[in-house]
Structure formats: structure tokens, C-alpha cells
Amino acid sequence: MSATEIDYYELLEVERTADDKTIKSSYRKLAMRFHPDRNPGDAEAEAKFKAISEAYDCLKDPQKRAAYDRFGHAAFQQGGGGPQASDFGDIGDIFETIFGNAFGGGGGRARPRRGADMRYDMEISLDDAFHGKDTQIEVEVSVSCHTCQGTGAQPGTSKRGCNLCHGHGKVRAQQGLFVIEKPCPNCHGRGEVIEKPCTDCRGEGRVDEVQVLDVNIPPGVDNGTRIRLSGKGEAGPMGSPPGDLYIFLHVRKHSVFEREGTVLFTRVPISFTTAALGGSVEIPGMDGEPNVIDIPAGIQSGKQLRKRGAGMPVLQGRGRGDMVVEIAVETPTRLSARQKELLREFKETETGEECPESRSFFDKIKSVWTDLTD
């Protein structure tokens, strides 16, 4: 879903005449419903969340809302009937062009750009996912230059105002009925020029550095769980705020258990005598505690038995899921002479009532055969 395809007011479920308080209230309700943390792995919910966030970002701002009411999505898209977004340094310039000083426009410096977000993929064991884990990771990331403190200028030197834009960070040009403002090509929208760039960062204000970061993995995480480390992404240019680091978890396969949400599945082979007479098996849980599973007499292969509360912890919640044990009756392949003798004796005493499903099947076969020969 793209917010550019749906009316912003429709996305936020409000009337076009709604006041700011109504718009904000509706946005908060929808954001809570579709937030990615509440809908892990749900791509549709994530797309909806981004769409309503985009809509609210526009309608909460008087200038943006006025431009949207006048031009619709064309106010923010190239090729529409309103101002072209590609003709401006950033979206804020559109409103300075449309409204001028009526909304305080007039060409300030370009706003600092926040650093880029980063992604880190981490593989963990099912045991780590069960108990949680405190660990450390090493990431190479751009950080604010220690030498110039992110200014980009050599220590002891300063920046000077740009001669081309006179410190505004923007230059203007007439285009049709509009006055177009673009980032200054000389200072790149900063309004200042570095005369003596820092030798360590070459005027960028940031350098690459390997950082060791502490990571807390809470109990109950699953494949695709995302952990956010705020402010641990790429440093912004010229001392701008850094982005965030997102850690995506991948849980390795376990030798005994398969997982589905908070439920742990395992397949347990039992002897045919245990299946016939009944008994019990003991399965250690992920917490190390034994789980005794009672086997009812006459159980068949494929039957599933459930142990409540022996599964995975609920992420950021209380309690645990269940353990589901699937029974597989194993036919013996290595028998002693005495065991074979006992089985022959058992076979001689069979009446057909011992295995009703087998008897029912062969009765049906006989019935079909009789119908074909008549």
C-alpha cells in the first residue's frame, strides 16, 4: 500500500474539515494498531503503518496540509499539477515557494541530515532464544570525527559564510510563476564553507570506526525479531544526529525441537510394546527440567500429545507456550530367538479384535472384491 495512492484524510479515517486534535487522536489509534512491534512479520501492517505515518506527517503541518489541500499528492510528486518536488532542495522548500513569508519562509539553511540507519544480522541458538542473552557485537560504522568534533574543520580554524548564498544555504531562480529555491551548489546547503578541512575526516565530519556494542536479547525472540539500538547507526554529516542500528535475529535449527511461535514440536519414537501397553517417556525441556509424557495404551503413530507450558516464553509477556510430542511407533528390526517365539505365540492368539482399524480395512477390501466378482 502506498500513501501516495490513497487520500491522506481517508488513510487517517477523518473528515477533510477535521481539526488538529481529531487528526492526532485518529493517528495515534491507527499507529498503535498497525505498529510493526505489535505485528511482527506482517508486511501488510508495516506498509499500513508507513502509509498512515506519511499521511500524518503531512496533515499535522499547517503548511504541508495547505499545500496538500490545494494540489493533492502533486504537491509532493514529480509530474503532478503542483510544484515539482525535484525542483527543490527538500520538501520544506515547496511551502516557502507557495506561501513565501506568510508562513515564515524565506530561505534558511538546509536542515541537518540525520545519519543512515544500519542493519546487522545475528545468528543465535534456540537456547539463546529461550533464555535470552547479553552479548556484544562489533560493527564498522561512521562516527563523529574525534579530531574536529564533527565540524569538518581543522582544530583551531573556523568556517566562514558562503559567498554565493550569503549564508542562507539556498539560491533562488525564477521559473515561470514561481521562485525556485535550491541548495547552494557551493556550500551544499550548509551556508558555511570550510577553508581548512580536517585532515582526519577530510572535511566530512565523520570517520569509519569499529565499535563494540552491547546487545540484550530478551527471552522468546524468534526468526526475524528486530532489536533497535537507537543512535548506533551512521553518524550524520557535520555533527548531525546519527541513525539507528537494527539487529535482525536468525535462530538456528535445533537437533530435537522445531518451533512454531511459542509452541515446540518434537517427534518421539516408542516401541510397539509401549504403544500397545501404554507407559511414559521423559523429555528434557529447554529449561533443563524433565517433562513426563504419559502414553495411553493403544496409541497410534502420528498421534500428538501436548504438554502445557513447556514451550517457548512469550516475548515481552508472561507465561510459555506448549510442547507438542508426535508419537512414532517403531517396528523392531532386531529380535532374539526368544522374542520371535513370543511374537509367534501372540500371533496364534490373535482374533482380529486387537487391531480394529486393520480389520475394518480388510473387511472393506473383501466387500469391494465381492462386488467385482458378482
Q: Which residues are annotated as a binding site for Zn(2+)?
A: 145, 148, 162, 165, 184, 187, 198, 201
Query: Do 201 and 144 touch, CB atoms closer than 8 A?
Result: no
Residues annotated within the binding site are 145, 148, 162, 165, 184, 187, 198, 201
Task: Give SS3 for 287.
Answer: coil
> Residue 374's CB: how many other CB atoms inside 10 A?
5
Length of the chain: 374
Contact 159, 195 (CB under 8 A): yes
Query: How many Cα atoms within 13 Å fall on the side-chain side of residue 27?
Result: 20
Residue whose C-alpha is closest to residue 105's, from 79, 159, 66: 66
Q: What secondary structure does DSSP assign to 289-313, as a single string?
A: -EEEEEE-TT--TT-EEEETT-SPB
Q: Which residues of 86-110 are buried (b: 16+ CB within 10 A; e: fewer)?
A: ebbbebbbbbbbbeeeeeebebebb
- For residue 276, which phi and psi values (nearest 5 degrees)? -80, -40
The secondary structure of 213-255 as a DSSP string is EEEEE-TT--TT-EEEETT-SPPPGGGPPP--EEEEEEEPPPS
Q: Please list, in sequence order, all residues whose beta carbon lies within 8 angstroms of the beta carbon of residue 240, skipping any fewer than 6 positions away.
A: 112, 113, 114, 115
Dist. CA 189–CA 171, nearest whole Å: 9
Query: Amino acid identity of 85?
Result: A
Taking the C-alpha atoms of residue 39 and residue 44, their distance in angstroms, rounded to an integer, is 9
- The answer for residues whose C-beta is within 8 angstroms of residue 74's C-beta and 6 or more apart is 80, 81, 82
